[in-house]
Amino acid sequence: MSLNLQNKKAVVAQVSETLSTAQTIVIAEYAGVTVESMTVIRAQARKANVFLHVVKNTLARIATEGTKFAPLADQMVGQLIYAVSDDPIAAAKIISDFVKANSKVKIVAGMYNDQMLDAAGVKQLAAMPSRDELLAMAMGVMQQVPAGFVRVVAALRDKKEQEAA
C-alpha cells in the first residue's frame, strides 16, 4: 500500500520523535519471515517498551537526518525492521532473540552510545544484563548485607555474654 505525502510526513515525524529520546537502534533484515513470527516479535517488543516497526528505508533515512543515528543511513538497504529503545539493551535483546528463533532474520547493524555496531556488536550488547536485571542483582546484594551484619552483631553479643559468664 502506497502512502500519500501526508501519511509519509506522519511516519517520519513519529520515527523522528522516537529517535529523539532513544539510546539504541538495531536494524535487521527479515525477508521470508512469517506473519505469525512477526506478530510474536511485535508483542515481545511492546512488553519491553521497544519501538519495533517496518518503515520504508527512504522514510527512515529522512527520520534519522540530524540525529545521532544519522550514520546508520548507509545501512538502510533491503527489507528491514527497525527496533528502537530508550533502554540501552532492550532493542538488542529483542532482535537477538528474534534471530535465534528465526534463521531467516539477519542483524544488519545497530547503534548505541554514538557507536556503530555490527551484528557481533549487537549480540554482545544483547548479552549484557538489562537495567532491571542489574537492579534485581543490586537488591539481592543489599538484602544479604543487612542479614550478614545482624549475624555478626549477634555473634559478638553471644561472645560477650559467654565471656561475662
Phi, psi of 17 (to 5 degrees): -65, -40
pLDDT for 1 equals: 52
pLDDT at 156: 85
Walk across the sheet containing 106-112 and list its strands: 50-53, 80-85, 24-29, 106-112, 115-117
pLDDT score at 2:
65
Domain ranges of the chain: 5-128, 129-165
Contact predicate 100/41, CB 8 Å: no
Q: What's the topology of domain 5-128?
A: Alpha-Beta Plaits (3.30.70)
| Residue labelled with grid coordinates 557481533 | 120
pLDDT tens across the length of the chain (165 residues): 567 888 888 888 988 888 888 999 999 999 889 999 999 999 999 999 999 989 999 999 999 998 899 999 899 999 999 999 998 899 999 999 999 988 889 999 999 988 999 999 999 988 888 777 778 888 877 777 677 777 888 888 888 888 887
pTM comes to 0.76
